Structure 1
Amino acid sequence: MNIAVETPLDLDLGLTWRNRFAGLGSTFYTNLQPTPLPAPYWVGHSAAMARELGLDPGWLSSDAGAQAFTGNAPIRGAQTLASVYSGHQFGQWAGQLGDGRAILLGEVLGAHGQGLELQLKGAGRTPYSRMGDGRAVLRSSIREFLCSEAMHGLGIPTSQALCITGSDAPVRRETMETASVVTRVAPSFIRFGHFEHFAARNQLEPLQQLADFVIDQYYPECRHSQAFGGNPYAALLQAVTARTAELIAQWQAVGFCHGVMNTDNMSILGLTLDYGPFQFLDGYNPDHICNHSDDQGRYAYDQQPNIGHWNLFCLGQALLPLIGERDYALAALESYKTIYPEAMARGLRAKLGLLDAQPGDQALAEGILQLLAQEHVDFTIFWRRLSHWVAKTPGNAPGTAPNAVRDMLVDRDALDAWLLQYQERLAQVDTALAGDLMLKTNPKFVLRNHLGEQAIRLANQKDFSGVHTLLALLETPFDEHPGYDTYADFPPDWASSIAISCSS
């Protein structure tokens, strides 16, 4: 006599789910299950993010964990869906887009009581895949996994990554590659494009429903704001404008190029979202284009602040039916022109170790940036060496800069002239405090393209040690990490030949 043994239909991860986005209704998404991948294996995971979610980091080494976060096994309490949105891509209206390869598992309560959404990127086709296969490849998943955690380590608002799994299932891009799934984490994945979608279709009821949801869940202060005659939607636009301006100033200060700042890649919460053809600058070149697909340089490094403002105008147009008064929308957007330069000035002062603002500080900062640009001086290494010089200088007498700093430029006379001005400014501050601030502002480690490429090449051979090492360094990028100086060294000559495009 055969006795049927009941097996669980889903996995219980011990998480508390509440799925607020799903509560908006089917107008905003399509319910569907991820498409399984054969024989998934672990590539890496963030123990810190696991603890934040209340997951046992050790469980993330188990086969059950790999099945769950590859999309092969249903998770109890999750409500899987793909959301619909639209957007402008490279300045042109692209119409309906949506989660073409990302499937939201749902929202859980984190260790500190905050809501965090979990999303599988690369989990298969959705109704919004637009002829795509719904997959992500190991190469791009490793880059997103590492850069999400790197940006968090730098203190820059970002989506994060819990883990990454791989499979030998083939995926064709420019060449044949293998599939991977990265589990992304953020308070919300709502984008500017979500609002554009409903505004473009003149669907004002869901547009207002979405705006009310965002205000009530993430910007409750806007509901009670007295600005703009008490208009909560104008207050929302201004709040998003402020967060976006602050975010892009942080990108610029650390030399980060996003590469594809389409409106559907812009977070309504001011998070860095969608890591595709990103790059941290090697040599400082304001005109640098990191996206090989960006023929016109729309998303070049020095264009990012302007593009951020342009994207906010698109959001403002989408919200205008709710705001009602065009002048309110324009006033909310106008605040960017004040907030961004102020945030950028603060960031540059911190890089220089200046604890307060003085009239000549902006000229001082612009002076060194011009010198770095003329010779394409390595951005990260220059600022780190300058930080060590200031940090090791006793009292208020900086003295002559060491060759470690002066050797960074061929034109030593120009650098020495700037350093003299800088020393005069440093004489007005406590250099011990200045040096400490600089070492906590100017990282030793960033995710340079060649470092990611080296980790990817090892991973293609099922050696994930490069991923693990980089994760450990990038989680604490301001620490010295003795023994790992090669990861903070100048890039090799071949690094300049790495081409990063939108393909992933």
Structure 2
Amino acid sequence: MPALEQLRFDNTYARLPPGFGARVAPRAFPNARLVSLNPAALRLLELAPEEARRPEFVEALGGGRPLPGMEPFAMVYAGHQFGVYVPRLGDGRALLLGQVRNGAGQSWDLHLKGGGPTPFSRGGDGRAVLRSSIREYLCGEAMHGLGIPTTRALCLIGGDERVYREEVETGAMLVRMAPSHVRFGTFEFFHHSEQHEHVALLADHVIDGHFPHLSGAPGRHARFYAEVIERTARLVAQWQAVGFAHGVMNTDNMSILGLTLDYGPFGFLDEFEPGFICNHSDHRGRYAFNQQPRIAMWNLACLGEALLTLMSEDEARAALNTFEPTFSAHFLTLMRQKLGLREVREEDRALVGDLFARMAEARVDYTRFFRALGQPDTVGAMFADRTGFDAWAERYRARLASEGSVDAERRTLMERVNPRYVLRNWMAQSAITRAQEGDFSEVDRLLTALEDPFTQRPEYEEYTTEPPAWGRHLVVSCSS
């Protein structure tokens, strides 16, 4: 394995022409120190664990002493925030330290959050707070464990600096990784500022790096847009199936690669509530759980508009019209898996819809219900009014019998897709509270538990219980 100093940087984004961002030196924390490391992400860089124990690791990733080949770069972008277009955003508290190419030819952005002010900070300090850094650090890995496309988290860095938000808080830095951090809003910035040559340049940059089968092909931009739509539709279907609410689906928080990007006020469903709003700042429920598919399509329409100098309106409209059927088909496939159904039948949509209606009435725990459904005779106790659920369960059992479903085999398959552990807000808050007192052991413990959310392990069974009274209605906002 290479030493830290031997990482191979290939900073293709920083080599784009002026106008794509700004070169900015990160600002290190006083007494910076590594407080949590994700070994799985370290392996993606092909670094041995002992490399992370060297002081140079924190110095390099925390902005104290960049490695040879690093070119810290703040990316510019725009975006629709809560439906309102903001013409200039950008990495206001983040920096692309560099792009590492590993031995398998994979390129990984090293993206530092909390590294100090940039030209896009809009008067802010460019720092991140510990609570939001821990939430993103844990949730990126939780989503990866669930098999959902996401940015990854490499490490958390602490130090002796206080950050001023609604109150004085502990500062932190997060190093996250992804093949690319280009967003829908990156294209919007160049389109709405009439830099159409940069729209084309950015599109070809992304295509060449991440959609190589389209590189140089006729009609590649329309085909690229169609593939982004497909990836996004499938991503949001996975969110809905696992009960994940992103909370702030602005176009600048939407990945061009179909990754879950920018974990802020997210929340996994506890009680099943279709209109669940996890973001305290979302006063009108724009980003409620049941609105996510609609908002994803709206955001994709904004992206399509930004690409209209590269394709026709007819091509854009035809591509966008594929979103709903793609989302619906993939979501129904995922729900069949969660229900242990092998066959595709016309009545499946009604079976799922009726189940959700019963679950919403009873406000049952989403994750616990589906995990227990492998033994359908045992889950009725979750419903105060058994009449409606029992009628549904009778239909479900009849369906299973008509397929010749074998109980033990079905339960095994269902437990591979219905997680036992998800990152509930109360769990993240418990880790945050201890970390603010200098104890990061719960962060590390959760990281390990969430790596494999499907396998039951006795040492983590406390994470399967109902939320404690203090954790039932935690308030999470965009503040970070």
TM-score normalised by structure 1 residue count: 0.92
Q: Does 1:154 align with 2:130?
A: no
Identity of aligned residues (%): 47
- Give the letter aligned to residue 169 of structure 1: E
RMSD: 1.4
- Give the letter aligned to residue 436 of structure 1: T
- Give the letter aligned to residue 473 of structure 1: A
Equivalent pair of 1:355/1:429 in contact (CA under 8 Å): no
Partner of residue 300, structure 1: 288
Aligned CA distance change for structure 1 residues 54 and 144 (closer, same or farther; 3 Å): same
Q: Does 1:310 align with 2:310?
A: no
Distance in 1 between residues matched to 2:456 and 2:263, nearest whole Å: 26
Q: Does 1:272 align with 2:246?
A: no
SS at match of 1:296: coil
Partner of residue 75, structure 2: 83
What are the equivalent positions in structure 2 for 1:90-489 lying under 5 Å apart? 90-223=82-215, 230-323=218-311, 325-387=312-374, 389=375, 401-402=377-378, 405-427=379-401, 428-431=403-406, 432-489=408-465
Distance in 1 between residues matched to 2:286 and 2:154, nearest whole Å: 31
Distance in 1 between residues matched to 2:169 and 2:243, nearest whole Å: 30
SS at match of 2:161: strand
Distance in 1 between residues matched to 2:70 and 2:287, nearest whole Å: 36
Equivalent pair of 2:4/2:51 in contact (CA under 8 Å): no
- Bigger Rg, which one: 1
1:191-215 residue CA offsets vs partner (Å, 9 max, x unmatched): 0011000100111111110011111
Partner of residue 16, structure 2: 24
1:137-185 residue CA offsets vs partner (Å, 9 max, x unmatched): 1111000000000000000000000000111201011110011011010
**When the two structures are aligned, how many residues end up with a matched partner?**
476
SS at match of 2:307: helix
How many angstroms does 1:72 deviate by? 1.4
Equivalent pair of 2:4/2:47 in contact (CA under 8 Å): no
Aligned CA distance change for structure 1 residues 321 and 376 (closer, same or farther; 3 Å): same
Equivalent pair of 1:167/1:179 in contact (CA under 8 Å): yes
Out of 36, 42, 48, which is 1:50 matched to? 42
Equivalent pair of 2:143/2:150 in contact (CA under 8 Å): yes
Equivalent pair of 2:87/2:189 in contact (CA under 8 Å): yes
SS at match of 1:43: strand
- Give the letter aligned to residue 277 of structure 1: P
TM-score normalised by structure 2 residue count: 0.97
- Give the letter aligned to residue 208 of structure 1: A
Distance in 2 between residues matched to 1:39 and 1:272, nearest whole Å: 32
- Give the letter aligned to residue 88 of structure 1: H
1:307-355 residue CA offsets vs partner (Å, 9 max, x unmatched): 00000000000000111x2111100111102101001101111110112
Distance in 1 between residues matched to 2:103 and 2:237, nearest whole Å: 30
Equivalent pair of 2:4/2:57 in contact (CA under 8 Å): no
Equivalent pair of 2:9/2:101 in contact (CA under 8 Å): yes
Distance in 1 between residues matched to 2:36 and 2:175, nearest whole Å: 11
- Give the letter aligned to residue 155 of structure 1: G
Unaligned runs of 5+ in 2: none
- Give the letter aligned to residue 281 of structure 2: S
- Give the letter aligned to residue 472 of structure 2: S
